[in-house]
Structure 1
Amino acid sequence: MKRWLLGGLMTVITGTGGAMEADIQQWTTDNGAKVLFVERNELPIVDLRIAFDAGSARDGHQPGLARMVSNVLLDGTAERNAGDIARRFERYGARVSAGSSRDMAEVSLRSLSDPDNLKPVINELAAVIAGANFPDDAVARVRQQMMLGLQQEQSSASSLAEKAFAAAIYGDHPYAKPPQGTLESVPEITREDLQAFHAKHYVAQNATVAIVGNLTRADAETMANQLTSGLPTGQAPEPLPVVQLPAAAEVVRVPFEAGQTHVLIGQPSVARGDEAYYPLYFGNHLLGGGGLTSLLAERMREERGLSYSSYSQLSTGAQRGRFEMGTQVRNEALEEALEVLRGTLVELIEQGPSAERLEDSRRNITGSFPLQLDSNRSLLGYVVSIGFHDLPHDYLTQFVEKIENLDADAVQGAMREHLHPQRMITVLVGPAEVIEAVAD
């Protein structure tokens, strides 16, 4: 039944002194699907997610293809239509959903763990994933919904800023393409395109199955085989190309009539699993990821009154994720806001954090982290990521320990090495006369 097995114990200490332990067990099914399982018996529930390396980075020359596949995936097989499928899940009180991002496509299920409920639900889900046939009427409906969403984005400054930012920092990399597609690409995607993408990417060798809940190991093995046995073995796609950093700073201007200008400043960050992630995460929390206690909130909101909301964010992926600073600011205050955003980042990189601010941020990170694991569903997200990105099984324990052991020099050193203000992209979405007045 299994080809190899790994086990790892992760323990996260909560702020109340208790301990949450998750013994991650891992194996592969006979046809090559990777499975990670955590037994938790507090509730008679099973949460499951199957992730495929089938996100928008695999769209090729058809932006929106992966998103459309996931949006139509649950809408019919050769034997049953969308209504029949939905009623079968509802009969057993199960909740199922599908979605996609840049790296992965996911199908999620929550069900009662009683075999009389769980077995038919898993059988149904397996049949739907393997046998999705993308009915013409469902494809037409989803295409129309995606087009409507794209049209609405044309009147959203934040959506325009996001698209322009991704395109600018990623250049010709697949991450640059909008996962939701474009007004030009979506109408051209056919049912045959969806079927071909599904046949290529929704295969066992390209699947990671994560299971958290009220099951034994033997039950989980049976369920994983039941879920994936209908998938062709297939093969995983080639790794994505490496993301290159921008060669020089650039200001991207998107005209948009509004009383405020949307600002994004940043660059590609690091890939998932890079050791620099930990000090960069810490540095980002100090800068603008810690909410109202962060430097950007103090400088932009409390001291200058420039913006109600300013932030920084660090994300990772199969290849480099992104670092960004963002705000919305009154048009007449744009120049001052850009000076504060850029200056605050440079100051933190060049001078490092104070001892007091470092310890306040450390307590906030380590104290709030266990709250992100307080349910099966939230733990499931981390288990999926651990499997998909081949992270160590004690990743969650490592995260807390590494944050505890970082000092100011380590945080400052990582920011100096990986964040380059002189090469960052700035995206401005606002009135033409306002954004054109900003120097390059």
Structure 2
Amino acid sequence: MLHQACVGAALLAVTWAQAALPIQHWTQPNGARVYLVESHAIPMVDVQIDLDAGSRRDPAAQAGLASVMAGQMASGLRADPQGAGPYARAMDENQLGEAWADLGASFGAGAGADRLSFSLRSLSYPDLLDKAVALAARQMAHPAFPEAIWGRDRERLSAAIRESLTQPGTVVQNSYASAVYGSHPYGYKTTPESLSRIGAADLKALHARALRTCNASVSVVGDLSRAQVDALVKRLLALWPAMSACQDMPPVAEVQPLKAAQAVSVPFDSAQAHVLMGQPGYKRNDPDFFPMLVGNHILGGGGFVSRLTEQVREKRGLSYSVYSYFAPGLHAGAFTVGLQTRPDQAAQAIAVAQEVVQTFVKDGPTEAELQAAKANLIGGFALRIDSNRKLLDNVANIAWNRLPLNYLDTWTAQVGRVSADDVRRAMARVLQPERMVTVVLGAQP
């Protein structure tokens, strides 16, 4: 009874918190899809713009192109002969940084596997926000991409990559990604060689292809009304290229399932053996998202209360930390089990972890494990939306993945409805323990 009361109280608290955070959604005439949560507690606005221009669209020979292009957008601005105001002039990277510091605002750009993202944070006071929006619009539409700055940064990035390859964690992750994803772009690795094939002209060409208003998902959380946000988004995208029609993006091939188990041994002088084991998992739009979320929490995502931790660490002392996770995206992201152990214990630790995964996939969770996992997830849900930044991340997730607008409202109910049979069925459908890749770095022969 006490357990049920705690879960009920958690559900009530989260439901109350969400009731004040309805998501408004509309599509502008330019095709941009806007998602808004009004939050008037503090005079702040957070904006995220996502585009289908992530690293999955990088040419294989130029791995890292999207990430590099995003990083170089802070290297300066071209002059805008049609513009007016203090930000129409050309700026170098120092002047651009000073302009943002003077506004007390921030702008960022970055690229993940699936999406290219721009972010803006500003106070909502009109005089400051208007200037921040004007500067962000210029930075998105008119970056300079100076050849000299890219040449300097390319050398720095190449040196950083070479240094990272002296770290066992990087080496094992690279080997694992290659084994799991094969030739799919999710497995591409940025190297000094791939960077050497990227010139400033390539950055400009990608930038020109990426900025498509009809491809934009715009998420906003902050102290503005719908009308104010609609005007803000129009100003942010006003300098993007005009398009008469929105053409579909070229398709990207799906991640191929593994055909057989594979064991990869990576020689490396390391005090610990690093182990990664897994396979392609599922796409984010999979209807079994919640059963797999709950299932992985029980298996290895729940920290010290997970089954992998109990069997590998607590009962046998084979590893200080062992974990599992799914990484779903527009394509099937990897399911991964990871651990570190003494080199002479690697074979035993792997055997135990494999047995735990096989048993869990075959039999599913116990009822006690299921109830504990659901209570933990439901009880911790409020921490997922307790700041504007976290709330923006959730809204952007809804926008990007085309999830229902009531996704946050129903999240705890969706978790609560998951049964042991749901977990067992979903895990058995998605995972094939007999065909997983196992990459081991630094183990004794």
TM-score normalised to structure 1 length = 0.92
- Counterpart of 1:129 in structure 2 is 140
- Aligned partners of 2:147 and 2:199 also within 8 Å: no
- Counterpart of 1:231 in structure 2 is 240
CA RMSD of aligned residues (A): 1.6
- Aligned partners of 2:14 and 2:381 also within 8 Å: no
Q: Please show how residues 27-426 of structure 1 align to structure 2 within 5 Å.
A: 27-61=26-60, 62-78=62-78, 79-178=90-189, 181-233=190-242, 235=247, 237-426=249-438
Quote how far apart the aligned CAs of 1:119 are.
0.7
Q: Report the 3-state secondary structure (helix = DSSP H, G, I; strand = E; otherwise coil) of the residue aligned with 2:337.
A: strand
Match of 1:19 among 11, 17, 20: 17
Judging changes above 3 Å, is the alpha-carbon distance between structure 1 residues 236 and 141 closer, same or farther for their aligned structure 2 residues?
Answer: farther
- CA offset digits 1:80-139 (Å, max 9, x no partner): 111222122111210222221111121212110011110110110001101112012321
- Counterpart of 2:6 in structure 1 is none
**Which stretches in structure 1 are left out of the alignment for 5+ residues?**
1-11
Q: Supply the AA of the counterpart residue of 1:157.
A: P
Judging changes above 3 Å, is the alpha-carbon distance between structure 1 residues 208 and 173 closer, same or farther for their aligned structure 2 residues?
Answer: same
Q: Supply the AA of the counterpart residue of 1:24.
A: I
CA distance in 1 between counterparts of 2:253 and 2:37 reads 33
- Aligned partners of 1:272 and 1:317 also within 8 Å: yes
CA distance in 2 between counterparts of 1:135 and 1:428 reads 42
Q: Report the 3-state secondary structure (helix = DSSP H, G, I; strand = E; otherwise coil) of the residue aligned with 2:290.
A: helix
- Aligned partners of 1:31 and 1:229 also within 8 Å: no
CA distance in 2 between counterparts of 1:341 and 1:206 reads 42
Judging changes above 3 Å, is the alpha-carbon distance between structure 1 residues 46 and 13 closer, same or farther for their aligned structure 2 residues?
Answer: farther
Q: Supply the AA of the counterpart residue of 2:26.
A: W
Quote how far apart the aligned CAs of 1:40 are.
0.7
Judging changes above 3 Å, is the alpha-carbon distance between structure 1 residues 44 and 300 closer, same or farther for their aligned structure 2 residues?
Answer: same
Q: Report the 3-state secondary structure (helix = DSSP H, G, I; strand = E; otherwise coil) of the residue aligned with 2:171.
A: helix
Judging changes above 3 Å, is the alpha-carbon distance between structure 1 residues 233 and 60 closer, same or farther for their aligned structure 2 residues?
Answer: farther
**Which stretches in structure 2 are left out of the alignment for 5+ residues?**
1-9, 79-89
| Greater Cα shift, 366-375 or 77-86 | 77-86
Q: Report the 3-state secondary structure (helix = DSSP H, G, I; strand = E; otherwise coil) of the residue aligned with 1:26.
A: strand
CA distance in 2 between counterparts of 1:16 and 1:153 reads 42
CA distance in 2 between counterparts of 1:285 and 1:15 reads 22
- Aligned partners of 1:205 and 1:236 also within 8 Å: no
CA distance in 1 between counterparts of 2:153 and 2:208 reads 19
- CA offset digits 1:290-333 (Å, max 9, x no partner): 00110111111111111111100112101111210000110010
CA distance in 2 between counterparts of 1:145 and 1:203 reads 31
Quote how far apart the aligned CAs of 1:233 are.
4.1
TM-score normalised to structure 2 length = 0.91
CA distance in 2 between counterparts of 1:14 and 1:102 reads 36
CA distance in 2 between counterparts of 1:154 and 1:177 reads 15
